[in-house]
Amino acid sequence: MPVKLFLSFCLFLSAYITPALAASAETDALLQQLTQTKLSKMPAMVHQLEATGDESLLPVFRAWLAGDLHYTRDDNILVVEVDVNGVDTYQDPYTQATVAGLTSKQVRKIKVNNKLRGLLRGVIARIQLTSSDADVRESAVRALLADIDDETFATLERIYPTEPNKDVREMMHTALSIYTAQDQNSSQTVRLAAIDVLGDSLENDVRNVLFSLERSDNEVISNAATQALVSINRQVERYALVDQLFFGLSLGSVLLLASIGLAITFGVMGVINMAHGEMIMLGAYTTYVVQLLMPNYIDYSIWVAIPAAFLVSGLMGVVIERLVICRLHGRPLETLLATFGISLILQQLVRTIFSPLNRQVSTPSWMSGSWEINPVLSLTLNRLYILAFALLVFFALVMILKKSSLGLNVRAVSQNRNMAKAMGVRTEWVDAMTFGLGSGIAGIAGVALSQLTNVGPNLGQAYIIDSFMVVVFGGVGNLLGTLVAAFTLGIANKFLEPTTGAVLAAILVLVFIILFIQKRPKGLFPQKGRAAE
């Protein structure tokens, strides 16, 4: 009995393994012929390879498309040329294992021309249409939109009814409509229906097809294409406004982080801190140093950089307050000059330590890339994360000021310093902690900015004026006013820039704030009661 079971098992394996081996052998034989085929005969070879349906051929096709496919002179084995640190090395196309000791003199390149490249792109996409991954299938259909031939159309028409994924089905429907809209053999009614479908698509290739149909001799088809383009352009304009709004919110989140610390120090202490921008700079350089210390853990370095930047900038703020600011109470002009001098000292200190050159901070992989909503609208992930982070910091600061003893003391001192001091509040300690808290939040702003721009000694100077504008516009010492003002100015800037340019947009915003302050000197949300005094 065991012997019979064993024989049955062997027959079962042979029934399934033998075809696989045969297919593999057939593919290998075709690849061997490929090394000896003339360029003019290559298209026929490509079709034969495609007919095998072997997905393992994809790395070979991609290397061939890129012009990196070679074969060894001695035994005609396919290899892929790869540049490793400026040195040409050769790898197995399937396993990516490096073939040791192989030099450029021992291999020959498999030729490729533009015609063959177009054919290879189509073959790669058609093979990927049967992938188990829906994203791969969708990308494959999108790659076919620019050039749909009869063979591709037949393939899509065959697999379209059985496609389970909704997004892939929509992309296939668009591809089929592109072919039908251009097909002179189809009836006018069918072509008009296809053009109507294309009018809802935002793919670039669809617009290119509609542009060509707009120049058609058939007036009905031409008018339909025009109407479809008008519909698409309306959608593009709407999404362009959404994109501008997103960049405005992104700029507003940066302004919020940069100005929120200034708002509480200005509101509590009445200090015009011209060194606030340098607290932002210190936070950015702290991020750079943390990445130097954690070169193999860039994805996690930002979680270390955030508290580190808060501590570095916060401690520097406490030191500045204890050594300089506390001695200049009631003398705002002298305080302004002193903090301006401190800002110059900190800039020169950074230049001495890190040099005047800008430093590049790496973005973690989970913050890289973009969230593609549709072909004309994508939101960059780093800006999206910074927007969420700015709101998180804002609400955390609000909770600290409302629920903690430090927040109670800060509110007491901001409303009536003398009365708070008479009630036993250590106003000097509150000043130091408030200045440290505001500077620490500026350091966190530096962490966020390091993900958007290069880190340099003048980084903070670009935001200090905007921070003061936000604080004055929103209302001195009012956190809600700072939030509203930051996002208002950020959105206004981004909506003005396409029309006026970046410089003129900034000037117009500044003029608006000056005129606004003339009418409402205390800002959008003025303090009330004793705090207003």
How many Å apart are CA 14 and CA 20, to the nearest integer? 10
Distances (CA, A) of 511 to 421, 424, 508: 40, 44, 5
From the number of C-beta atoms within 10 Å of its C-beta (0-12, 13-18, 19+), residue 226 rates as: middle
Range 203-208, long-range pairs (CB < 8 A, 24+ positions): 203/142, 203/145, 203/174, 203/375, 204/375, 205/145, 205/146, 205/178, 206/145, 206/174, 206/178, 206/232, 207/232, 208/146
Please give the full DSSP string across 103-128, using - where no structure is assigned: -GGGEEEPP--HHHHHHHHHHHHHHH
Q: How confident is the model at residue 21 (pLDDT cuts 50, 70, 90)?
A: very low
Q: What is the DSSP letter of 98?
A: B
Instruction: Give the three-class secondary structure for 511.
Output: helix
Return the amino acid letter for 63.
A
Looking at the predicted structure, is the pLDDT value of residue 284 above 60?
yes
* Higher-scoring residue by pLDDT: 263, 440: 440
- Tens of pLDDT along 35-46? 777 877 888 887
8 A C-beta contact, residue 288 and residue 359? yes
Mark out the alpha helices in 367-426 (DSSP H runs): 381-403, 405-415, 417-422
How many Å apart are CA 389 and CA 422, to the nearest integer? 39
Residue 234 pLDDT: 92
Q: Any idea what the Cα angle at residue 135 is, between residues 129 and 138, rounded to 5°?
A: 50
Please give the full DSSP string across 200-216, using - where no structure is assigned: T---HHHHHHHHHHHT-
Give me the percent of the chain exceeding a pLDDT of 90: 22
* Neighbour count for residue 184 (Cβ, 10 Å): 7
Q: Any idea what the Cα angle at residue 161 is, between residues 160 and 162, rounded to 5°?
A: 90
* Higher-scoring residue by pLDDT: 23, 309: 309
Mean pLDDT in residue range 520-532 = 66
What DSSP element (H or E) covers 141? Answer: helix 134-144
Residue 233 pLDDT: 92
How many Å apart are CA 524 and CA 533, to the nearest integer? 17
- Tens of pLDDT along 206-251? 898 899 898 888 889 999 999 999 999 999 999 999 999 999 999 9
Residue 4 pLDDT: 45
From the number of C-beta atoms within 10 Å of its C-beta (0-12, 13-18, 19+), residue 114 rates as: exposed
Return the amino acid letter for 293.
L
8 A C-beta contact, residue 75 and residue 36? no
How many Å apart are CA 47 and CA 36, to the nearest integer? 16
- Paired tokens of 359: 């430093």
Instruction: Give the three-class secondary structure for 469.
Output: helix
Looking at the predicted structure, is the pLDDT value of residue 9 above 60?
no
Mean pLDDT estimate for the chain:
83
Mean pLDDT in residue range 126-135 = 80
CB proximity list for 395: less than 8 A, separation 6 or greater: none
Looking at the predicted structure, is the pLDDT value of residue 22 above 70?
no
Range 325-328, long-range pairs (CB < 8 A, 24+ positions): 325/269, 325/271, 325/273, 325/431, 325/435, 326/428, 326/431, 326/432
Range 97-104, long-range pairs (CB < 8 A, 24+ positions): 102/72
Residue 24 pLDDT: 62
How many Å apart are CA 129 and CA 142, to the nearest integer? 11
What DSSP element (H or E) covers 70? Answer: strand 69-72
- Paired tokens of 108: 């020959």
- The reply to whether the predicted model has a pTM over 0.85 is no
Mean pLDDT in residue range 382-388 = 92
Looking at the predicted structure, is the pLDDT value of residue 13 above 60?
no
Residue 1 pLDDT: 42
CB proximity list for 259: less than 8 A, separation 6 or greater: 466, 467, 468, 470, 471, 482, 485, 486
Instruction: Give the three-class secondary structure for 185.
Output: coil
* Neighbour count for residue 9 (Cβ, 10 Å): 10
